[in-house]
Structure 1
Amino acid sequence: MPGSATVLVIDDEIRSLEAIRRVLAEEFEVISVRGAVEAEEVLAGEMVQVILCDQRMPGENGVDFLKRVRDLWPDPIRMIISGYTDSEDIIAGVNEAGIYHYITKPWHPDRLIDSVREASRLYWAQREAGSATVVEAKPSPKRLSSVVGDRRRAQRQLGDFERIVHEPASPVAAAIGLAKRATDYDISVLITGASGTGKELLARAIHNGSGRAEQPFVVENCGALPDDLLESELFGCKKGAFTGAYQDRIGLFEVADGGTIFLDEIGETSPAFQVKLLRVLQEGEIRPLGAQRPRKVNVRVIAATNRNLVGEVETGRFRRDLYYRLAAFPIHLPSLAERAMDVPAIAARILGDVNRAFHRDVPGFAAETLSAMIRYEWPGNVRELANEIQRMVALSDHDHALPPELLSTRILQTAKAGNGCDASAERPQLKERVEALEREVIAEALDRLSGNISRVAAELGLSRVGLRAKIQRYDLRRDLDDDE
């Protein structure tokens, strides 16, 4: 389960509030407020996993407040803290407020941390289980963990790779074949491809098919943050480590300990940050900003980029040693323009999702609509296709097959231009595209495995004879060792 949690502490006594904050801040992100009004403002704007509320507050007691919280924000795990003299009143209201745990004063620091830690685990277990029921007093974390495990195992049996819609002859089939191989080995994977091609979906499939599937899968977009914030986000920080570090933060590498971290847009990072990331990969440990000691982590890294990292290495913008650390197992995802044969199946899957989200029952696409969608090259890839289908459904007045006039102007113009010329003269035929991709995959494997026929054939799922035939067809003999 993800290890981090934000804890909302509510107590009108400043000394008590500060004492609780000091104890919990070493492990949790703590937000402390002095009353119900401030607490509701926090809950309306922040993701809170655990609420720790004092029973005696001016104007409203803790149980009554948590009853209201249960109705408005049912997800956080609710706990109450108070003196022995309040115990009968609290016990009477525990079920009404759905209170998970009752902590008595004076509390012991270690027991307080253990209680909040258990509540945090319970929150994430409940989220993973997809439970719609509110947690009542003392549910069983073991039961919820069992539900999570059962659902994850069922998901793995169905196969996350099946979520990547494609035809058997599609160029993406080769990428999926490589990704399935990657699930068997605990090595770093680098997924390349244009934005919107499904790199995160493929990374999740690799994780869910691996031995780490029962552990967290954590995602970070490395292109979205400046260096200091990215370092804090990934490695954690201590309060006061830099301007704006108002409290301790647990880094995502620590959250992902035992599991997988997906570093999207890794090509956008600066050389200075690359040095720090390289050290983490080499040493298997992180040092939160401002911390005195490093912390060991066991995390598999899957990185992704839409850049040509080999070219970035040659120009000096991306560190060569980091590239080889990340690209132990490279996989390239083709763009939607390279797999036009997949557009009908992908569009049908997306339309089904949109129908459920919009409470519609649109049966499909008119033949002219589908023809125009196949001709269009989709520079935004699957993401652009999904947005277009959402727009079409929103514009349609009836649950009939979507007509071509609902398509965006740019797609209609492409379709009209395609009708006036021989499209085969403008773009390579499917067979040529598939062969070009196959040649690239085999060449890359030969280069990475030093031309070893047996190892390359095993990795790509080919026989030695079949691989040799392809090497001869694509004129790749120069990539072989002399003894082969």
Structure 2
Amino acid sequence: MTPPLPPELPAILVVDDEVRSQEALRRTLEEDFEVHTASNAEEALAVLEREWIRIVLCDQRMPGTSGVALLRQVRERWPEAIRIIISGYTDSEDIIDGINQAGIYQYLLKPWQPEQLLLTLKSAAEMARLHAENQRLAMELRTAAPVLERQVENRRGAARRRFALDAIVRAPGSPMHGICALVKKLSALDIPVLLTGESGTGKELLARALHYDSRRADEAFVVENCGALPDQLLESELFGHKRGAFTGAFEDRIGLFKQADGGTMLLDEVGETSAAFQVKLLRVLQEGEVRPVGAARPIPVDARVIAATNRDLEAEVLAGRFREDLYYRLAAVTVSVPPLRERPMDIPLIAQALLDESQAALGRRFEPLSGEIIDCLVAWRWPGNVRELRNEVLRMIALADGDSLSASHLSPRVLRAGEAAEEPALNLLGELEGDLKTRLETLEARIVRESLIRHRWNKTRAAKELGLSRVGLRSKLTRYGLDKGD
């Protein structure tokens, strides 16, 4: 038989062979409970079969089956029901022996007091509610555990694929091939690695690839920018703190090193740390333990440390701004990441990958980058490296009309193929080859082509900007061999 839904009020079954006792208990309990009554064990079992009973309040002395005997049956068939016995006898051996056998929650003596009885039964009802809630949560956890495990494993797999060394965009002949091969070797060795290179060259991407290709891949990868916080906050962030260690420390805090226990800790911009903090960091690397701010003793941690910096740490050591012993602790192996200008063959692939990533995030589709756009991108020196390249891709997307991107949407400095907007024309002339006439013609051809690109090859607008007639512009296009197809 399918049990009914539980009532809004907790249901209690009063079992007593005396009608007056039943009625007295009903009047006392009916405001806080849904009261059911029975005069003997047979009636009580029938009620339990059809109702959702949380508490069974039973008199001990009844004709036929005693209260303790009845509650033994209740325990076997409805173990979630709270069992309470009432008796006027304090020395009954049946009661004393049956308390454990029947799992009796409370033993009440007659005559009972209404206030005491209500308090006992409300406590019993709350315990029954908590027990039912715990059972429900346990069931949900058992049901959800396999799903959660699959979700966690799927996320881990996605992270491994996303940050795999093979996922790092690079062209044939790129210096990144040698760097990725080195990182592949280092991933199998649990040693500190120092990543150096300009900001935006992909040091964090390499650090993640190193982590997800290592035996620590299933554990945490934690990043902290050491140059973003003052010493006290950085110490608390990395090492943790105890409650009351300083103003605002209202509770204990686990530091990032402890969060990375078993995994990898990336200390970004480590060259920005102060001499005082470098001493504390050195102890962590030497001893394999951290001391939370305000703690009496250190705690052990097992985190692989990868450091990254855009500074020349060797020069910083010689200048006395970085501790030599810490440098050698961090730089078991140094990996230097080249800037984007030293690997121009990667620029088209990275730009297209950034476009594909943005398309997926925005839910829009664009045509592949044109040769005209690629020429401009490759010619620029990219002082901001990949971050600057990403901004250019986003700029083109923001200014695009429809699904087509145009070189005219690039920043002026990039559109001028690597020549800064404020750079005097004389500097450009100095870099050109040939006699004066040849140099001036080359410069004129560049200016005409730039104007055409900026106006998306609208000859009328380009001629107006250059102060030429359409016939004059057409003549120069023919003279210099300029055509959109070229």
Q: Scaled by the length of structure 2, what TM-score is found? A: 0.58
Out of 334, 337, 353, the position equivalent to 2:338 is 334
The CA RMSD measured in Å over matched residues stands at 3.0
Q: Are residues 1:218 and 2:258 paired?
A: no
Partner of 2:276: 272
Amino acid at match of 2:306: I
1:320–1:84: structure 2 CA closer, same or farther, 3 Å change rule? farther
Contact 2:413 2:419 in 1 (8 A): no
Distance 2:172 2:432 in 1: 21
Out of 245, 262, 266, the position equivalent to 2:266 is 262
Deviations 1:227-272 (A, max 9, x none): 0000000000011212232221100111111110011000000010
Amino acid at match of 2:195: I
* Greater RCO (Cα-Cα under 8 Å, separation 6 or more): 1
Write the mapping of 1:57-456 to structure 2, written as runs, cut at 5 A: 85-86=125-126, 100=137, 138-141=142-145, 144-149=148-153, 152-153=156-157, 156=160, 160-400=164-404, 402-415=405-418
1:142–1:260: structure 2 CA closer, same or farther, 3 Å change rule? farther
Point out where structure 2 has 5 or more consecutive residues left out of the alignment: 1-121, 434-486
1:139–1:372: structure 2 CA closer, same or farther, 3 Å change rule? same
1:94–1:299: structure 2 CA closer, same or farther, 3 Å change rule? closer
Deviations 1:350-402 (A, max 9, x none): 100111111110112232211111111111111111122112101112101x1
Contact 2:161 2:167 in 1 (8 A): no
Partner of 1:468: none
1:90–1:165: structure 2 CA closer, same or farther, 3 Å change rule? same
Partner of 2:5: none
Distance 2:339 2:432 in 1: 18
Amino acid at match of 1:334: P
Aligned-residue offset at 1:293:
1.4
Distance 1:423 1:215 in 2: 53
Aligned-residue offset at 1:85:
2.6
Aligned-residue offset at 1:173:
1.7
Contact 1:94 1:137 in 2 (8 A): no
Distance 1:83 1:214 in 2: 45
Structure 1 or 2, whichever has the larger Rg, is 2
Deviations 1:303-348 (A, max 9, x none): 0000000000001100000000000011011111111110100011
Distance 2:294 2:159 in 1: 40
1:391–1:213: structure 2 CA closer, same or farther, 3 Å change rule? same
1:139–1:251: structure 2 CA closer, same or farther, 3 Å change rule? farther
Aligned-residue offset at 1:276:
0.2
| Length, aligned pairs only | 307
Amino acid at match of 1:203: A
Distance 1:84 1:407 in 2: 73
Distance 1:256 1:210 in 2: 14
Contact 1:100 1:139 in 2 (8 A): no
Per the alignment, in what secondary structure is the counterpart of residue 273 of structure 1? helix
1:245–1:334: structure 2 CA closer, same or farther, 3 Å change rule? same
Contact 1:233 1:252 in 2 (8 A): yes
Amino acid at match of 1:411: V
1:413–1:94: structure 2 CA closer, same or farther, 3 Å change rule? farther
1:240–1:248: structure 2 CA closer, same or farther, 3 Å change rule? same
Partner of 2:74: none
Distance 2:336 2:123 in 1: 61
Distance 2:310 2:416 in 1: 27
Amino acid at match of 2:300: K
Contact 1:262 1:303 in 2 (8 A): yes
1:334–1:424: structure 2 CA closer, same or farther, 3 Å change rule? farther
Distance 1:299 1:424 in 2: 54
Distance 2:155 2:263 in 1: 17
